[in-house]
């Protein structure tokens, strides 16, 4: 698919995303008051959302990063989750919030959450900007959710197409029509 020649349909505007990130930041701040919050951002896709979200969290927060792989350059998860870069050390005493850009099959998030539980945190919950429940393969409901979206391939705001377009400040769907 030559994406440059296709029609981009905006699914979520920059303003909609920022409004929801602010609301989520407030909710997380309230829920984790008096707790030791550790946000784990799943790279690469969640880095933009995580940056916007944590700036809206008004309590002290520690931020770590994990790199996982299940997509390669494709449009669907392979189902094989690999941890490329892990959170180091013991998480005893921390309430961990795993942040990702999108959950569709749920396989990556479930795998990461189970993995982090082996590091002795107080709690492990998840936060996703986008959820495609129609594609779910495991029992997983995000604890914090930005938007539920239809089963379409989305790009922008951290989500890539062949490692490009993460910098687009909105989420879009590529249609099959040519410009």
Contacts of 37 (CB under 8 A, 6+ apart): 28, 57, 59, 60, 61, 62, 94, 95, 97
Ramachandran category for residue 46: left, alpha or beta (phi over 0 → left; psi -120 to 50 → alpha): alpha
The DSSP output letter for 87 is -
Strand 61-69 with 95-103, pairing: unpaired
* Active site residue ranges: 104
Ramachandran category for residue 35: left, alpha or beta (phi over 0 → left; psi -120 to 50 → alpha): beta
């Amino acid at each position: 698919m030559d994406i440059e020649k296709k029609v981009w349909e905006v699914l979520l505007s920059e303003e909609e995303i920022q409004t929801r990130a602010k609301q989520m930041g407030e909710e997380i701040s309230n829920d984790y008051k008096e707790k030791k919050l550790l946000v784990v951002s799943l790279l690469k896709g969640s880095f933009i959302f995580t940056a916007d979200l944590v700036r809206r969290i008004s309590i002290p927060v520690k931020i770590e990063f994990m790199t996982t792989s299940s997509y390669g350059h494709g449009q669907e998860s392979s189902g094989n989750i690999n941890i490329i870069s892990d959170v180091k050390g013991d998480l005893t005493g921390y309430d961990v919030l795993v942040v990702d850009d999108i959950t569709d099959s749920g396989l990556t998030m479930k795998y990461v959450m189970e993995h982090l539980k082996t590091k002795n945190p107080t709690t492990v919950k998840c936060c996703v900007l986008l959820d495609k429940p129609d594609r779910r393969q495991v029992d997983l409901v995000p604890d914090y959710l930005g938007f539920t979206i239809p089963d379409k391939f989305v790009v922008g705001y951290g989500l890539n197409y062949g490692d490009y377009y993460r910098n687009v400040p909105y989420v879009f769907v590529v249609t099959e029509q040519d410009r």
